[in-house]
Amino acid sequence: MKLFLTASAALLALSLPALASGDADAGEKIFKKCKSCHTIASPDETIVKGGRTGPNLFGAIGRAAGSVEGFKYSKSMISAGEAGLVWDEEKLAEYVQDPTAYLKKELDDPKARAKMSFKLRKGGEDVAAYLGTFSTE
């Protein structure tokens, strides 16, 4: 019985990352909703030509919140970055569901606001996985 429990625990632990991560291919399709405001551009090339309302999302995974040079973030987003918020796939997937609610929770501040008003109710984990393919890490 002990062997069975140990093996079950090991299999569960190995499967959690797979369950937690999204599908980058699906995220690429869903990102079409995001590109009206966001672009994905490396220093060398534009990968997805999009709008300029939001910051460039190249390297978003692994980057401190509110830190793209030249982009004007909300005070709350800058505060979150200064407090140590670094985007990973899980945090970004939660953020895109309701940006203002996420910052309120993250900062423990009921007055916190995000400039991003769009809410991606489904597929956030897929978009985060897609953006993870453009990580500078």
Buried/exposed 65-98: b ≥16 CB within 10 Å, e otherwise: bbbbeeeebbebbebbbeeebebebebbbbbbeb
* Structural Rg of the chain based on CA atoms: 17
Going by pLDDT thresholds of 50, 70 and 90, the confidence category of residue 137 is low
For residue 89, what pLDDT is reported?
97
| 23: Cβ contacts below 8 Å, ≥ 6 apart | 126, 129
Residue 122, strand partner residues: none
Task: Say yes or no to pLDDT of 37 above 60.
Answer: yes
Going by pLDDT thresholds of 50, 70 and 90, the confidence category of residue 2 is very low
Q: What is the pTM of this model?
A: 0.82
Only one residue has tokens 């895109």, namely 96
CA 132 to chain centre: 8
The stretch 113-133 carries a mean pLDDT of: 97
Going by pLDDT thresholds of 50, 70 and 90, the confidence category of residue 14 is very low
What is the percentage of the chain residues whose pLDDT exceeds 90? 82
Domains of the chain in sequence order: 22-132 (1.10.760.10)
For 105, the enclosing helix (H) or strand (E) is: helix 99-107
The stretch 86-93 carries a mean pLDDT of: 98
The stretch 36-44 carries a mean pLDDT of: 95
